[in-house]
Structure 1
Amino acid sequence: MASSPTVPPNEHDPSPGGAAPPGPAATVTATEALGAPQAPPGPTAAPGGASAGSHGYRALLSTPGAWRFLVPGFAARLPYAMLGLGIVLLLEHTTGSYGTAGAVAAAAAIAQALAGPHVGRLADRRGQAAVVVPASVAHALSVSALTALALTGAPLWALFAAALAAGGTTPQIGPMIRSRWMTRLGPSPLTGTAFAFESVTDEFTFVVGPVVTTALCTAVHPAAGLAATAALVLAGGLLFAAQRTGAPAATGRARPGTRHAGAMSAPGLRLLVVAFLGIGTVFGSLQVSLAAFARETGTPGLAGWLYAVFAGGSMAAGVLYGAVRRRSALDRQLLVTYALLVLAAAPLWTARSPLPLGAVALLCGLAVAPTLITGFTLAEVVVPDNAKTEAFTWLTGAVGLGLAAGSTVAGQLADLVGARAGLAVPAVGTGCAFVLLLLARRLLRPTPRP
């Protein structure tokens, strides 16, 4: 739920797809750029390694044209963290049932996760602007329809239909921005810093988004949160599409008789999807379990603070991780950070009071962002060049599905056994994923490129 430096920019004139015409640099892999041994003989060395301190971020954000897509992109991706809570707050107001509100919000989240890779594939083939514009308009209309249906007391099936449409039309701005960084930077040691910056931005949206939504729904109107979601997506999405800086060139349709190599054709990405599902269970189970724990201990107001400690730890770790030069192989980095995540999640269920739980949640958060950053960086080198956006949407969607599964299981356990039982879900989810990562580590090798 995880998440660009100074390099010689590509100064070619933008093509209709917004990217520079392919040149010799496009055929160089990230590992070659670092002088590491070429794959497939072995795992890639880390392309992510900004200079120490804040210089990497300063260089990243000094990249010519970066702010042109970062600002509208942030406005358009913020609603990603607002939609679910906005649905819950509005529907609880109109139906009086948290169960109904949660089920409709879950439908939107699942549609968002399942449709995301298809949106990403279309963006790779037809160009980002050709996908973002209709998706932004459709999403704004779907959210507006859901709001109107809720306020007029429409039947439950209509609410579910509108929620599925709202989730399925969500513009995949975060993955598209990651693709733009890859196009803008080319093979560069700042690649890892870019992924770190994006991971921190994702975390920031999930800190700010719920706060903005809650404030609007409580101080203005229960529907104000969804209204802001629709407006931000529409305005931010259209402005983002209008800025072609760094946008990858459209690959077009596959020629007759040829087969398009999709992102999931890479075994390494399939393994990363499993890893990100495990990370998603951490987000989902903690959201539910921390609230249940705070209620059980008679301090319901602490739920938000406990989750803020977890999210704050992840943000801080993301900032620091992106500013450190890392020379070990990416697959080894992922195994180390994932092992730390499992170890940090393991004692969550043993906490019996808020203070120890907050300390363990902080440790868990510290391990999340580095794992997400390394996973996204690995995805960049294990998938074909024409499927970058699709690959990033698969990983984002995997976190969403893991979140839905984690929150569902943790909620059931909290109702049947208690909050501490729900706090065991992160260790189980990440533990299972880590075992698969360990057994199939050889799949995390970069895809050979022409």
Structure 2
Amino acid sequence: MSTYAAVLRTPHAASTFGAALLGRLSYGTLSLSLLLAVKDASGSFAVAGTVLALFGATGVVLSPVRAAMIDRYGPRRALVPMAVVYAVLLAALAVVTREEHAAPGTAGTSAVLMGALAALAGAFAPPLGPTMRTLWSQLLPDRRMLQRAYSLDGVAEELILVVGPLLVGVLVTYAQPAAAVAVSAVLVLVGTVALALSPVPFPVRATGEGRRKGRGARTPGTGPRGLGQPVLAAAGIGLCLGGLDLLVVAFTEDRHQPGAVAWVLAVLSAGSAVGGLAYGALSWRSAARPRLAVICAALGVALAAAGLAPNVYALGAAAAMAGLFVAPALTTAYLIADESAAPGARTRAGAWVNTALNAGISGGTASAGLLVGAVPLPLCFALMAVPALLCATATPRGTGRLDLKSG
């Protein structure tokens, strides 16, 4: 743990990271709070699911565009306006969803309004994760320290996904779900403004003549081919994780133990946190690209083996084993993306990895839904492990080599 303490002792690291986590906690609270608020306002789970899907779709599709704006103009000129508009739209959603009993004949109009507000909010969602990873690369030029920072960042993100819904649970005990949506708006606004005010210099992309010169100075690893492996790996990991969530539900229901879903998924997250902390604390002699391939292969094997579990306890053990490779794989993907990008395009490179992960999760859930019931459950697990195994074979040779041991 002393290695992580050294990361946080870096000047401005703890305050900058704390601001980013405060803003990112909003994403941990919003999904559940928005789902509950829209369901209460519309009386329909279908409407709630559609509104949440619209929010997620615009957020994922436009993530690289928002990241490019930050690379070009910096956090203060781009990130803060995004956060202000985003928070205002969330506040509007909180106001709209406070109406628990719509007037006769207005249900359809309310659903359209909530969907439009959610879609617009997703379009302006500030990319705090990619921005923070860019700032990490500025704070810690040493690659070994950067690996530890990325591992710490990934573990914190896992914890946010656990703490966020718990916080919503507390809030809705004493207030309407719409109040939790409003709290999400406050969290993201305060955290984003604090992050943008960080004294850490941000590598803004050059414009005009300077930008043309910057293009000519790029190394072979900074182009799309350099980003191909980490983006594909993130998409593959997302496909596996999205499918695994649904397969765990199917497995536990098949054993007549639906209540076991929560703790099986919890041990998956716990395994990811443990794996991420251990991975970041080690110094690796191997290059990052072949290492990413090995980690993806291990993840695929663990997921395939989970389908052979005879009971939910064995499934939990297999999920914990698979989790050990999730955070290390994503950490390595972000490291490669950071190294592959030009200094003024790091946020966009990280956003592509993040977008691929989120898109993969959505696709994995949909794919698993088609497989369950059509083929035996063990085969479903094996098929959902294929993306990770394929990523293990897609290792570019001679590009973007990273040796953390050499610093």
TM-score for both structures, normalised by structure 1: 0.80
Counterpart mapping for 1:228-377 below 5 A = 228-243=183-198, 245-255=199-209, 258=212, 265-377=223-335
User: 1:287 deviation in Å?
Assistant: 2.8
Correspondence for 2:160: 205
Residue 259 of structure 1: how far off its partner (Å):
8.2
Contact 1:264 1:270 in 2 (8 A): no
Indicate the SS of the match to 2:324: helix
Contact 2:206/2:214 (<8 A) preserved: no
Aligned in 2, Cα 1:380/1:230: closer, same or farther, shift over 3 Å?
same
In structure 2, give the amino acid aligned to 1:136: A
Shift of 1:145: 2.4
Tell me, yes or no, if structure 1 residue 103 matches structure 2 residue 58.
no
Deviation at 1:180, TM superposition (A): 1.0
Which deviations, in whole Å up to 9, do the C-alpha atoms of 1:270-306 show, x marking residues without a partner? 2321110111123322333323433343322221111
Does the Cα contact within 8 Å between 1:414 and 1:420 map onto a contact in 2? Answer: no
Runs of 5+ in structure 2 lacking a partner? 100-106, 403-407
Query: CA 1:138 to 1:359, structure 2 compared with 1: closer, same or farther past 3 Å?
Result: same
Q: CA deviation at 1:392?
A: 0.8
C-alpha contact (below 8 Å) 1:127/1:250 kept by paired residues: yes
Partner of 1:214: 169
Contact 1:285 1:425 in 2 (8 A): no
Rate the CA distance shift 1:82–1:237 in 2: closer, same or farther, 3 A: same
- What letter is aligned with 1:247? P
Q: Deviations over 1:137-180 (max 9, x none)?
A: 11111222233334444443333222211212111111111111
- For 1:251, the aligned partner's letter is R
> Helix, strand or coil: the match of 1:190?
helix
**2:14 paired residue number:** 67
State whether residues 287 and 401 of structure 2, in contact with CA within 8 Å, keep that contact through their aligned partners in structure 1. no
8 Å CA contact 1:84–1:109 kept in 2: the answer is no
The secondary structure found in structure 2 opposite 1:350 is coil
1:250 is displaced (CA, Å) by 2.2
Q: Are residue 193 (structure 1) and residue 148 (structure 2) matched?
A: yes
Aligned equivalents of 1:77, 1:202: Cα separation in 2: 8
Alignment counterpart, residue 178 of structure 2, candidates 223, 231, 237: 223
Which secondary structure state, in structure 1, belongs to the residue aligned with residue 209 of structure 2?
coil
- Number of matched pairs: 390
Quote the offset at 1:425 in angstroms.
5.3
Which residue is equivalent to 1:31?
Answer: none
Matched residues in 2 for 1:160 and 1:148: separation? 14
Question: Would you say the 8 A contact 1:296–1:419 is kept in 2?
Answer: no
Name which of 135, 138, 146 aligns with 2:93: 146
Deviations along 1:351-376, whole A, 9 cap, x unmatched?
34211111111111001111111111
Equivalent-residue separation in structure 2 for 1:434 and 1:389 (angstroms): 25
Amino acid corresponding to residue 215 of structure 1 in structure 2: V
* DSSP-derived class of the 1:64 partner: coil
Secondary structure in structure 2 of the residue aligned to 1:351: coil
Of the candidates 147, 158, 163, which is equivalent to residue 113 of structure 2? 158
* Conserved? CA contact 1:141–1:230, under 8 Å: yes
The Cα shift of 1:339 comes to 1.0
Q: Percent of aligned pairs with the same residue? A: 30
* Structure 1 residue 422: Cα displacement: 5.4
The aligned counterpart of 1:79 is 26
Counterpart-to-counterpart distance in 2, 1:84 and 1:429: 26
- Alpha carbons of structure 1 residues 257 and 131: separation in structure 2 relative to 1, 3 Å: closer
For normalisation by structure 2, the TM-score amounts to: 0.88
Query: CA offsets, 1:104-132, max 9 Å, x none?
Result: 22222222122221111111111111112
Q: Which has the higher helix share?
A: 2
User: Cα 1:331–1:206, aligned 2, differ >3 Å: closer, same or farther?
Assistant: same
SS at match of 1:258: helix
Take 1:429 and 1:225, find their aligned partners in 2: how far apart are those partners? 36
In 1, are the aligned partners of 2:235 and 2:357 still within 8 Å (CA)?
A: yes
Inter-CA distance 273–354: structure 2 relative to 1 (3 Å threshold): same
Contact 2:41–2:98 (CA under 8 A) maintained in structure 1: yes
Residue 94 in structure 1 maps to residue 41 in structure 2: yes
Contact 2:205 2:343 in 1 (8 A): no
When residues 443 and 82 of structure 1 are mapped into structure 2, their CA distance, relative to the original with a 3 A threshold, is farther
Distance 1:427 1:219 in 2: 42
The amino acid that maps onto 2:336 is: L
SS of residue in 1 equivalent to 2:204: coil
SS at match of 1:251: coil
Shift of 1:136: 0.9
Is the 8 Å Cα contact of residues 146 and 162 (structure 1) preserved in structure 2? Answer: yes
Deviation at 1:212, TM superposition (A): 1.6
Change (3 A) 1:408 1:155: farther
Residue in structure 2 matched with residue 48 of structure 1 by the alignment? none
Alpha-carbon distance in structure 2 between the residues aligned to 1:91 and 1:421: 37
Residues 1:429 and 1:122: Cα distance change in structure 2 (over 3 Å): same
- Amino acid in the other structure paired with 2:87: A
AA of the residue aligned to 2:268: F
Q: Structure 1: any 5+ residue segments left out of the alignment?
A: 1-53
**1:266–1:383 CA contact under 8 A, matched in 2:** no
How far is the alpha carbon of 1:395 from its aligned partner?
0.8
